[in-house]
Amino acid sequence: MKKAVKAIVIFIVLATALGLTSCNSNTNLNPNTNTNPDTNSPTIAPAEPTQETQEMTGHRPLNFKAEDLTWEMQNVFSGNYVKNETVMFIDKGDTKELLYRIDSVISVKSYSGKKTYVEGQDYEVVDGKLRITEDSKIPCITSKKYYAGDGTLMVEVDGVKKPVYWGEGTVMTNYQVNVEYTHSDTWNGYKQKCFAGIYDKLYSKLEAGEDVTIVFYGDSCTYGAASSYAYGYAPYQYSYALLVTNALADIFGYTVHYERSKLPDTGPMPKKDHVAGDRGTITYINNSVGGWTTADGVSNFDKYAKPYIEKHGCDLFVVDLGGNDGGRSPETTAANDAAIIDKVRELAPDSGIIIMSTLLNRPGSNWAGNDALQEPRLVELSEKLRNEGVPCAVCGITSMTASVLEHIKFEDFSGNNINHPNDFWARLYANTLFETLVGYENLN
């Protein structure tokens, strides 16, 4: 299965076996939602290859030290240390692989961070992996419960489709623990390309201390599902959108003002501004709604995005839709994203654009669809726009997710075991978006 996921992203084959269907924040999930392909929508013609080099697109040195970022924003895909990587043990005695081969464990704690487990009693390191002992106090869901789901999530196990445990809130995270450890091996999976150099107008304003506005527009994953902050329980970690925006403020000595929306179904906002300095203000707007498709993004734009852009402007627009378009063709989702971007450009011609490709929903499950095929079409769209002079790039969440799944199990970093990232996966999102927009290599 792991090799199949990787093959989908790299060679764009076996789509129907491993594609995905929904990214809905609601707990009343319907695996049959949006399963009818839309064959009448316009398609995106392949663009001519972009003439930009990596040096042109990625080079933007900044006078800020990478180690001064918050720990949540430290790059998991580099270095030799990982904090709070999550893992979920099914049964006592199970052994789990992490993203890296463990050299030494610093700590293993409950998801909330309130309980600490003891090496030698609750767990041990075996051949670079983490093994839970038979008498461990670490919670285990047990195979009996894990494979006794309600039928919403069906996954092939040993050639047989079985119902699998899933759920929102703490339903999954009650069985996940945080592992802090060191490692010697390096990341050899997907590496996001940096495009900092194309967002010159945004950076020029930030360097000059001018106010800027960042708009996030997406479905449940951008809404915040299933970050602990959005769901209201410890450790209250922010979603990827909040983490990256606050990191920008930290770099440039700005204050982030969270523009609260009275629109229905949008995500929670911090009550207080994030203050990292008084050089300027980043206005943060996020009117994302769980369950939205790319078509919803088009039809709701005039209500959920246009008035806010007209009022505050837009210096960077991040669109993250497609997780609910598993039954639509990749060309259709790309065309809808293009329509949204056209609307943004009409209102804010100088705005930078980032297109987030969707995460991979539970591979091999009844939530499979065309999601894994969207990213190449989005790359074609972004290259076409860049050749037209539009600062636009794709943040490859699909490729990142497939690469991570080469090492760890889906239940280890999912917030609901279907289609939402937990706090650790949200950090991987944030790392990938930060690399796209800023580039860790551009920090001192």
Which of 183, 198, 231 is a domain's end point?
183
Query: Residue 42: helix, strand or coil by DSSP?
Result: coil
**78: Cβ contacts below 8 Å, ≥ 6 apart:** 186, 187, 440
- Tell whether omega for the bond before 45 is within 30 degrees of 0, i.e. cis: no
The Cα angle at residue 386 between residues 382 and 389, in degrees rounded to 5: 145
Chain centre distance of CA 180: 21
- What's residue 12's pLDDT? 33
Domain of residue 279, residue span: 2-33+41-76+190-442
Same domain, yes or no: 62 and 149: no
Same domain, yes or no: 158 and 267: no
Same domain, yes or no: 381 and 243: yes
Place of tokens 């669109």: 319
Same domain, yes or no: 175 and 211: no
Place of tokens 């203000």: 281
Same domain, yes or no: 302 and 352: yes
CATH classification of the domain holding 63:
3.40.50.1110
Number of residues in the chain: 444
- What's residue 368's pLDDT? 76
Same domain, yes or no: 251 and 371: yes
Asked if 375 contacts 9 with a C-beta cutoff of 8 angstroms, the reply is: yes
291: alpha, beta or left? (left if phi > 0; alpha if psi -120 to 50): left
The Cα angle at residue 403 between residues 401 and 406, in degrees rounded to 5: 110
Which of 117, 151, 183 is a domain's end point?
183
- What's residue 314's pLDDT? 98
Same domain, yes or no: 203 and 319: yes
**DSSP E strand boundaries for 154-280:** 154-157, 160-163, 176-183, 212-218, 255-258, 274-275
DSSP 255: E
CA atoms within 13 Å, Cβ hemisphere of 142: 3
Q: Which amino acid is at 221?
A: C
What per-residue string of b and e applies to 38-47 under the rule 16 or more CB within 10 Å gives b? Answer: beebeebeeb
DSSP 45: P
- Two structure tokens written together for 27: 């707990």
Same domain, yes or no: 206 and 124: no
Q: Which amino acid is at 428?
A: L
- Phi and psi for 355 in degrees, rounded to 5? -105, 120
Same domain, yes or no: 148 and 238: no
Same domain, yes or no: 127 and 17: no
- Two structure tokens written together for 304: 């959920």
- Two structure tokens written together for 335: 């065309």
Chain centre distance of CA 267: 16
Which residue from 364, 375, 342 is spatially nearest to 411, judged by alpha carbons?
Answer: 364
**Model-level pTM?**
0.91
Total number of domains in the chain? 2
Give me the sign of the Cα torsion angle 207, 213, 215, 221.
positive
Strand partners, 156: 161
Which of 152, 183, 214 is a domain's end point?
183
Which residue from 346, 333, 260 is spatially nearest to 302, judged by alpha carbons?
Answer: 346
DSSP 148: -
Q: What proportions of the chain, in percent to the nearest 5, are helix, strand and coil?
A: 35, 20, 50
Same domain, yes or no: 219 and 177: no
- Phi and psi for 122 in degrees, rounded to 5? -100, -25
Per-residue pLDDT of the chain (444 residues; tens, 9 = 90+): 444 444 433 333 333 333 333 343 333 333 333 334 443 444 444 444 445 566 569 999 999 999 999 999 999 999 999 999 999 999 999 999 999 999 999 999 999 999 999 999 999 999 999 999 999 999 999 999 999 999 999 999 889 999 999 999 999 999 999 999 999 999 999 999 999 999 999 999 999 999 999 999 999 999 999 999 999 999 999 999 999 999 999 999 999 999 999 999 999 999 999 999 999 999 999 999 999 999 999 999 999 999 999 999 999 999 999 999 999 999 999 999 999 999 999 999 999 999 999 999 899 999 978 989 999 999 999 999 999 999 999 999 999 999 999 999 999 999 999 999 999 999 999 999 999 999 999 999
**220: Cβ contacts below 8 Å, ≥ 6 apart:** 23, 24, 25, 26, 288, 289, 290, 291, 323, 419, 420
Same domain, yes or no: 129 and 274: no
